Amino acid sequence: MNFFDKLNRNILQNQSLLFVGLDPNPEMMPVRYESEELITGLEKWLQFIIAETADFVCAYKPTLGFYEALGIPGLELLYKTLAAIPAHIPVILDAKHSDLNTSTIFARTLFTEWQVDAITLSPYTGQDHVAPFLVYQGKAVFILCCTSNPGAEALQQYPTDEAPLYLQVVKESKTWGTPEQLGLEVGTTNPEVLALIRAVAPERIIMARSIWAEGQNLKQILEAGLNTNGDGLLIPVPQDMLGNTQLSEEVQSLRAEINQLKTEIIYENSTCSVWFPDVCLLNQHPQQDLILQLYDIDCIMFGSFVQASGAIFPYYIDLRKIISNPQVFNQVLTAYEDILKNLTFDRLAGIPYGSLPTATGLALRLHCPMIFPRKEVKAHGTRRVIEGNFHPGETVVVVDDILISGKSVMEGAGKLESAGLNVNDIVVFIDHEQGVRDKLQQNGYCSHAVLTISEITNTLYQAGRISEEQFLAFTES
């Protein structure tokens, strides 16, 4: 079972979004354990926390730095603490690891020897740093996006409040791993910061930190951070609560308060068109996460662009960039696959050149033979029009990237048919909605699209990624 399945199972089983930090901080150790030798006292305290909370939380989060600060006895304490956590409860090691040179060996140690389920990482060294942690099947990482300490604002809010660095971290880190591999760690006392991150990353698990400021409104935090299903947000048990002798009762009370607020929020927004603040997430497109990522890596651009036909569009789509972003490419293939699995065919064919990487990936995924019609026939060698092995009479599904005029895809289908193959279905990623589907239907083809250009622009506008002016330029074109 992967980390997020394990986490979600515990959220449902314990009806809790709460996680507990298991931090052997001598300064926070309750007085009742001070008569013990330091390590012994800390161990008894941590064991008490686990025993009191295991039925009421969804995850535990030991902070590595506290154990390291205690030397070898501290690392031994970490092993004992990890062993005491029930196996069905996921463990997130709070390491904020950021050293590129030690990433590979550290990932192997914590995932294979320590058997933790997830780790927190700092993003500054980029995808190269995160990749060694993502090769372990079923494990996950949480990328630190922002912190609540005032001294960090000069960096995290740079260059402007409207386009701060922490949001760029969110956008970039989403291309490093799937929602099942990568979550976000957000330290803030400001619900608006949390809401902005949720709008950019609607499908990601957010682990909140530092939310218990004096006078903080828990409901505002939940409104800002919960996803459309009323979850996707992990809430920390307050650190000062962990020393109380009635810990179990207090955690249950906090859990009940959160669940009550969740119910109120879901009810209030069930008939409301606005989700806090000014971002509607209730009717989001099922591919919203993918659309936002395509926009973030400049596969979707807005401006004034001349198309191959000579027409001027207020936008430009360049899907060739997805092959350089494996995580996005993987999501694109999944979206195609959801359509293809409902069609009947013997082989699939990509249209040169843009869709050939996609067709290759789909052939591997579906264990289906691939062919492709040449764009031009070589004047030497076999002079074949169709590359790959096939038998006349077989049915071929055609895969292309973008449907604008339909010229290239119909030419490709025609070449396949001239070789005795049958083409019934054409599957594209984006339909520009220029009336081409009707033209294809008139020629005997049934077209299918993962997305339409209007779905893309509506999603980007609702998510606040494009301006009203850009949105209106599209609708008027």
Q: Is 61 annotated as a binding residue?
A: no
Q: Is 378 annotated as a binding residue?
A: yes
**Assign residue 90 a region: left if phi > 0, alpha if psi is -120 to 50, beta otherwise?**
beta
Q: Is 375 annotated as a binding residue?
A: yes
Q: Is 80 annotated as a binding residue?
A: no
Q: Is 408 annotated as a binding residue?
A: yes
Structure tokens that stand for 133 in this block = 């942690």
Q: Is 448 annotated as a binding residue?
A: no
Instruction: Report strand pairing: 347-350 vs 395-403.
Output: parallel
96 noted as active-site residue: yes
Q: Is 407 annotated as a binding residue?
A: yes
Q: Is 72 annotated as a binding residue?
A: no
Residue burial 314-353, b: 16+ Cβ < 10 Å; e: rest: bbebbbeebbebbbbbebbbebbeebbeeeebebbbbbbe
Q: Is 414 annotated as a binding residue?
A: no
> What is the dihedral angle through the alpha carbons of 408, 414, 417, 423, rounded to the nearest 10 degrees?
50
Q: Is 255 annotated as a binding residue?
A: no
Of the residues 44, 96, 171, 439, only one is catalytic, namely: 96
Q: Is 85 annotated as a binding residue?
A: no
Q: Is 333 annotated as a binding residue?
A: no
Q: Is 402 annotated as a binding residue?
A: yes
* Binding site feature residues for 5-phospho-alpha-D-ribose 1-diphosphate: 374-375, 378, 380, 400-408
Q: Provide the annotated binding site.
A: 374-375, 378, 380, 400-408
Residues marked active site are found at: 96
